[in-house]
Chain A
Amino acid sequence: MADTVGGSEITVAKAPKFRQTRKGQVRKHIINVKVRNEIGVLARIATLIAGKGYNIESLSVGETHEPGISRMTIEVIGDDIVIDQVVKQLRKLIDTLKVKDITDVPHVERELLLVKVHTPTARARDEVLRIVEIFRGKIVDVSPETYTIEVTGDEDKIDAILQLLKPFGIKEMARTGKVAMRRELFNEENNLD
């Protein structure tokens, strides 16, 4: 409708209008970070993520082929938009060289699991051994009462074997957290992370 606004002729609509605010989906993100291996760099990264109120699900750090450069894989559950913000702020840190959220790009991810299972009977030992073979794992330590098993794989595989081993009784376990890497795509130039 036409109306006067402060005396001039301009169309006025009366119902309040709202700015589009995007809310991201909350899900697990995998972020790769290449850092200079300086004192305090881990603290800086952890402080930044904690500052957003997010908990780090897993984090693995190790050296790369370049001297003085380490690579981290960080798993964190959070809102897509906030994670995008986290990535930008990680990039701003002086000691980070490259930061990439690889959740939505083709990538390989692996995790190593060590798990000590209760195997007091011959039958239990047989069954556990069979499961380990199916999952291409290894028995790395044996005692009269237990098997200690090593398996690598993606999250689904690790979860699956744990599910199968649970009924025997898990005495102890440790997971390394993920390491992840983008898949090399053919005929794509800039494929480095």
Chain B
Amino acid sequence: MSRKGADIVIEALKEENVEVIFGLPGGAIMEVYDALYRDGTIKHILARHEQGAGHMAEGYAKATGKVGVAMTTSGPGATNIVTPIADAYMDSVPIVVITGQVPTHMIGNDAFQEVDIVGITRPITKHNFLVRDIEELPLIIREAFYIARTGRPGPVLVDIPKDITQQFSDVSIPGMEEVKKALPGYKPHIEGNMQQIKKAVKLIMEAKRPVLYVGGGAVSSEAQEELVELAELMKIPVTTTTQGKGAFPENHPLSLRMLGMHGTYYANMAVYNSDLLIAVGARFDDRVTGKIDEFAPDAKIIHIDIDPASISKNIIVDVPIVGDVKIVLRKLINELKRKGAKVMYPEEREKWLEQIEKWKKLHPLTYRNSKKVIKPQYVIEQIYEVTKGDAIIVPGVGQHQMWAAMFYKFSYPRQFLNSGGLGTMGFGLPAGIGAKVGRPEKEVFVIDGDGSFVMTMQEIITAVQYRIPVKVAIINNAYLGMVRQWQELFYDKRYSEVDLSVQPDFVKLAEAMGAVGFRAEKPKEVREVLEEAMKIEDRPVILDFVVDKEENVLPMVPPGKSYRDMILEDGKGTEAETMYLVG
């Protein structure tokens, strides 16, 4: 049947089972919005800024594992969504972004609202397309979804000139076979090489001091069951990155929680002193490794990752295994069992686990609470309690993000949705809205900074309009706190341009936008306002927690330094002579 290009877009989206689009219309994309309106079956959330729409699509994708969809007009609409695209690229989030473009014959003429968004996003998309012919439109949309969700997931952009959305065609929506055939150069590896798996098995059985280091790849491949089984089978302690949180439950006795710059003392000690590091869907980011040549200096490394280009990128590994984490771990477990799952050096292994327990007792994650001022860590702990540890937590970027990562304990995958790679302030609120749209049954708590929140706070209006009851806890320290912390520690307290003491009244702001606002200024009010907030189910809630302004995130491995240079929670260094098994 002959129909407009715009209708073909909607048809193809329905074929992909898209249930919601986050976006904002404009001239070049109006035909598609008209088709959306006429069709009436796909829900649309009207963001107040395209950056918001992009992060909403990311939050939706991160929370559900499905592909998130965002749609904008050409020119400024397209450039406004560049940051979320880069964010999704860095964190391997499957999103498809559809942008309108000026009509084909005007491309390259500096037409009104023309921008070369395909060129701009080339280095920050997994792939992108400019549609040149209505006949290829449905195939391209299906290819975009296929590329976004398979292999190492990532953002894909489809730029559609206006004339193509207006033309008519009877082209049919292609099936999956046709989509795959159209992409001969795209073969996402999934299986994992058996020879390599056998080598890994040998190393694991022979290891004296093994550690599992788990990243976001374990979350996107849904490998939590395999991880727990492997860890328990071979008694291997597990540390995760911020992206890997929830892939292994943090209340499990083998959990070391997070490693890296703001990792726990015991996770970093364990990694530093390990003799075998099993990296699972992680990419040895510099925020994790610190100084690379002092990262786990005595360890052999097994690296399981779906992306061959991630392997030996930042660090040379001994046994690379390219494949889907879940599939490879399953094969690894089977092979271990076939070999009797033997620990060759049980005595050393026992000692290792004992040692880790000692490290845990020596420097647990802690802070000094106060009766006078609200400590940010205390707020997070209280959020943990009122939500019974079951909420999806979505932070902004800064100190509050790290406190959220440290003081909320995560037990299931897709529970901590974080802008890890790009570190995008302003991510929290819109991503939280997207998450709540995808997982309405879950409590969604955005834990934001006073700086981060104002970067995308207009999306409160969106949440009000669609009655999306996200909770937003602002950890209000009246500073760009993380930058202030670095200035305190590394720039002799020269606080250059980090003062946020001029702020809106967040409670009034909430009310002005149709949300509910609360403020807590004393420790005893924290629990009260949280409990009040939990009663509200039909609107977003903003909680303004006025906290200790100069609290620092500790422990900390200073940037570019080794784990040995860690600053502990008391502000002191590690006792270098006695703490290291590995010199």
Q: Which residues of A contact B (CB under 8 A)?
A: 3-22, 35-36, 39-40, 43-44, 47-48, 51, 81, 84-85, 88-89, 91-97
Report whether A15 and B583 are in contact in the complex, using a CB–CB cutoff of 8 Å.
yes
Shortest distance from the beta carbon of A35 to any chain B beta carbon, whole Å: 8
Shortest distance from the beta carbon of A92 to any chain B beta carbon, whole Å: 6
Within 8 Å CB of A47, what residues of B?
122-123
B186 within 8 A of A: yes
Report whether A22 and B316 are in contact in the complex, using a CB–CB cutoff of 8 Å.
yes
Within 8 Å CB of B308, what residues of A?
88, 91-92
Instruction: Give the contacts of B541-579 with A (CB-CB under 8 A).
Output: 562, 564, 576-579
Report whether A11 and B581 are in contact in the complex, using a CB–CB cutoff of 8 Å.
yes
Segment among B352-360, B390-398, B424-432 that sits at the interface with chain A: B352-360
Report whether B579 and A18 are in contact in the complex, using a CB–CB cutoff of 8 Å.
no
Tally of contacts, chain A with chain B, CB under 8 A = 103
Q: Which residue from chain A places its CB closest to the CB of B209 in the assembled complex?
A: A10
B507 within 8 A of A: no
Shortest distance from the beta carbon of A41 to any chain B beta carbon, whole Å: 10
The distance in angstroms between the C-alpha atoms of A20 and B582, with both chains bound, is: 15
Q: Which residue from chain B places its CB closest to the CB of A7 in the assembled complex?
A: B358
Report whether A40 and B118 are in contact in the complex, using a CB–CB cutoff of 8 Å.
yes
Which residue, B126, B185, B562, B578, has most C-beta atoms of chain A within 10 A?
Answer: B185
Within 8 Å CB of B147, what residues of A?
94
Within 8 Å CB of A15, what residues of B?
583
B351 within 8 A of A: yes
Which residue, A6, A51, A81, A92, has most C-beta atoms of chain B within 10 A?
Answer: A6
Instruction: Give the contacts of B339-395 with A (CB-CB under 8 A).
Output: 351, 354-355, 358-359, 362
Report whether A20 and B122 are in contact in the complex, using a CB–CB cutoff of 8 Å.
no
The distance in angstroms between the C-alpha atoms of A117 and B389, with both chains bound, is: 80
Residue in contact with B123 in the complex, picked from A7, A51, A92, CB distance below 8 Å: A51
B112 within 8 A of A: no
Residue in contact with B295 in the complex, picked from A11, A19, A85, CB distance below 8 Å: A19
The distance in angstroms between the C-alpha atoms of A9 and B355, with both chains bound, is: 9
Within 8 Å CB of B119, what residues of A?
43
B307 within 8 A of A: yes
B184 within 8 A of A: yes
Report whether A17 and B298 are in contact in the complex, using a CB–CB cutoff of 8 Å.
yes
Instruction: Give the contacts of B247-268 with A (CB-CB under 8 A).
Output: none
Q: Which residues of B contact A (CB under 8 A)?
A: 118-119, 122-123, 126-127, 130, 132, 147, 183-186, 292-298, 307-309, 311-313, 315-316, 351, 354-355, 358-359, 362, 562, 564, 576-583
Given contacts A14-B583, A17-B297, A18-B294, contact A43 B122 (CB under 8 A): yes
Given contacts A11-B581, A51-B123, A94-B186, contact A20 B316 (CB under 8 A): yes
Report whether A92 and B581 are in contact in the complex, using a CB–CB cutoff of 8 Å.
no
Report whether A12 and B580 are in contact in the complex, using a CB–CB cutoff of 8 Å.
yes
Within 8 Å CB of A12, what residues of B?
577-578, 580-581, 583
Shortest distance from the beta carbon of B180 to any chain A beta carbon, whole Å: 12
Within 8 Å CB of B294, what residues of A?
16-19
Q: Which residue from chain B places its CB closest to the CB of A34 in the assembled complex?
A: B185
Q: Which residue from chain A places its CB closest to the CB of B122 in the assembled complex?
A: A47
What are 7 A-B residue pairs whose CB atoms fall within 8 Å in the complex? Answer: A8-B354, A13-B580, A35-B185, A40-B118, A40-B122, A88-B309, A94-B186
Report whether A16 and B583 are in contact in the complex, using a CB–CB cutoff of 8 Å.
yes
For the complex of A and B, the 3 pairs showing the least CB-CB separation, nearest first, are: A13-B583, A6-B358, A88-B309
Report whether A18 and B293 are in contact in the complex, using a CB–CB cutoff of 8 Å.
yes
The distance in angstroms between the C-alpha atoms of A85 and B580, with both chains bound, is: 34
Report whether B185 and A94 are in contact in the complex, using a CB–CB cutoff of 8 Å.
yes
Report whether A10 and B122 are in contact in the complex, using a CB–CB cutoff of 8 Å.
no
Report whether A19 and B362 are in contact in the complex, using a CB–CB cutoff of 8 Å.
no
Residue in contact with B355 in the complex, picked from A10, A81, A95, CB distance below 8 Å: A10
Given contacts A4-B578, A92-B309, contact A21 B293 (CB under 8 A): yes
Within 8 Å CB of B307, what residues of A?
92
Shortest distance from the beta carbon of A176 to any chain B beta carbon, whole Å: 26
Report whether A44 and B309 are in contact in the complex, using a CB–CB cutoff of 8 Å.
no
The distance in angstroms between the C-alpha atoms of A16 and B354, with both chains bound, is: 23
Given contacts A96-B185, A97-B185, contact A5 B122 (CB under 8 A): no
Within 8 Å CB of A35, what residues of B?
185
- Beyond contacts A19-B295, A97-B185: 19 other A-B pairs, Cβ-Cβ < 8 A, are A5-B579, A5-B580, A6-B578, A10-B351, A10-B581, A12-B578, A12-B583, A13-B582, A14-B580, A16-B294, A19-B293, A19-B296, A21-B315, A21-B316, A22-B316, A39-B130, A43-B119, A88-B308, A88-B311
Report whether A36 and B579 are in contact in the complex, using a CB–CB cutoff of 8 Å.
no
The distance in angstroms between the C-alpha atoms of A88 and B310, with both chains bound, is: 9
Report whether A17 and B583 are in contact in the complex, using a CB–CB cutoff of 8 Å.
yes
Report whether A97 and B184 are in contact in the complex, using a CB–CB cutoff of 8 Å.
yes
The distance in angstroms between the C-alpha atoms of A88 and B581, with both chains bound, is: 36
Report whether B183 and A94 are in contact in the complex, using a CB–CB cutoff of 8 Å.
yes
The distance in angstroms between the C-alpha atoms of A38 and B309, with both chains bound, is: 23
The distance in angstroms between the C-alpha atoms of A3 and B583, with both chains bound, is: 12
The distance in angstroms between the C-alpha atoms of A51 and B309, with both chains bound, is: 15
Shortest distance from the beta carbon of B178 to any chain A beta carbon, whole Å: 16
Shortest distance from the beta carbon of A71 to any chain B beta carbon, whole Å: 13
Report whether A5 and B581 are in contact in the complex, using a CB–CB cutoff of 8 Å.
yes
The distance in angstroms between the C-alpha atoms of A8 and B308, with both chains bound, is: 40
Report whether A85 and B309 are in contact in the complex, using a CB–CB cutoff of 8 Å.
yes
Q: Which residue from chain A places its CB closest to the CB of B577 in the assembled complex?
A: A14
Shortest distance from the beta carbon of A101 to any chain B beta carbon, whole Å: 14
Q: Which residue from chain A places its CB closest to the CB of B307 in the assembled complex?
A: A92
Q: Which residue from chain B places its CB closest to the CB of A69 in the assembled complex?
A: B184
Q: Which residue from chain B places its CB closest to the CB of A21 in the assembled complex?
A: B293
Within 8 Å CB of A18, what residues of B?
293-294, 297
The distance in angstroms between the C-alpha atoms of A39 and B315, with both chains bound, is: 35
Q: Which residue from chain B places its CB closest to the CB of A82 in the assembled complex?
A: B313
Shortest distance from the beta carbon of B493 to any chain A beta carbon, whole Å: 30
Q: Which residue from chain B places its CB closest to the CB of A17 in the assembled complex?
A: B297
Within 8 Å CB of B576, what residues of A?
14
The distance in angstroms between the C-alpha atoms of A9 and B130, with both chains bound, is: 64
Within 8 Å CB of B295, what residues of A?
19
Q: Which residue from chain B places its CB closest to the CB of A97 in the assembled complex?
A: B185
Shortest distance from the beta carbon of B129 to any chain A beta carbon, whole Å: 9
The distance in angstroms between the C-alpha atoms of A40 and B578, with both chains bound, is: 57
